[in-house]
Amino acid sequence: MKRAATLVLFVATAVLAGAQQSSIDAQKLEQIRKMSPEERAKLKERLEEIKKLSPEERERLNENLKKIKAMPADQVKKASEQAAKLTEKEHKEFVELASGFFKWERRMGYHEGFPRGLFFQWLKRDKPGKIDEIRQMEAGPGSGRVDEFIRLYHEFRDHTLAKTEEHARRHKCMKLEDVQALGELSPKEFWPQWQEMTRSCGIRRAVPGPVAPRPLDAPRK
């Protein structure tokens, strides 16, 4: 997914810079054609976000992408993993933004096994524009902020299931039919079962990114 995300940004920047299709690497175009519906949706979302940037910001993004393309693969991976980690300040803010959602989650009984740290990292890496929107929303029970976090909660579940299926196909460390069966479970059952199923392999390092600092996933009272 990291490679796909880099590809998305590259193509989006090229389009917005007015590049001709012939100037875009044919191999990258072929990779786009092979994208899953989820990845295509992310491409569309990134395009919309970049359209809102000023010309100066677009140029800065283009320059950054040129630097990324020139970096060795191991350095790109390391930089991506580092960028996904939340600082202490970011963690505190995310907890505050999601406080109403967490009350709803516990009231519904959906909190057991939910990887809060990975959820936060996914938001930071894949939904930076959405976090900005949530900051502007009203807080409190029944607010738009809570409703948006609930929607993101379900989107994160779908994302995690898709990545787990992809991992199972590639590494054969889990039965694919068992992973697919997770999709039939209720929210109360899904995360505990997912935690148990992935305990013995490295999937939690790949869905959706590096393992979160332990305090983020510590048991909650």
pLDDT at residue 62, as a whole number:
77
Q: pTM of the prediction?
A: 0.61
149, pLDDT greater than 90: yes
16/166: higher pLDDT: 166
Which residues are within 8 A (CB) of 118 and not within 5 positions of it... i.e. 6 or more apart? 160, 204, 207, 208, 209, 211, 212, 217
Are the C-beta atoms of residues 46 and 7 closer than 8 Å to each other? no
* Cα–Cα distance measured from residue 86 to residue 94, given in angstroms and rounded to the nearest whole number: 9
Taking the C-alpha atoms of residue 176 and residue 174, their distance in angstroms, rounded to an integer, is 6
Least confident of 143-147, 180-184, 203-207: 203-207
- Distance of alpha carbon 142 from alpha carbon 100, whole angstroms: 9
**pLDDT surpasses 90 at 193:** yes
CA-based nearest residue to 153, from 98, 207, 86, 199: 98
Could you give the CA distance from residue 203 to residue 93 in angstroms, rounded to a whole number? Answer: 27
Inter-residue contact 216 to 91 (CB < 8 Å) = yes
Lowest mean pLDDT segment, chosen from 21-35, 37-51, 61-75, 78-92: 21-35
Q: Is 168 exposed, middle or buried (0-12, 13-18, 19+ CB in 10 A)?
A: buried
Contact assessment for residue 94 and residue 86, using Cβ atoms and an 8 Å cutoff: yes
Selected residue with higher pLDDT from 118 and 18:
118
The pLDDT of residue 204 is 56
Across 56-60, 105-109, 213-217, the highest mean pLDDT is recorded for: 105-109
Note the pLDDT of residue 27.
63
Residue percentage of the chain with pLDDT more than 90? 39
More confident residue, 87 or 49: 87
Nearest partner of 221 among 100, 106, 101, judged by Cα: 106
Which helix (H) or strand (E) segment holds residue 72: the answer is none
- Contact status, residue 160 vs residue 207, Cβ threshold 8 Å: yes
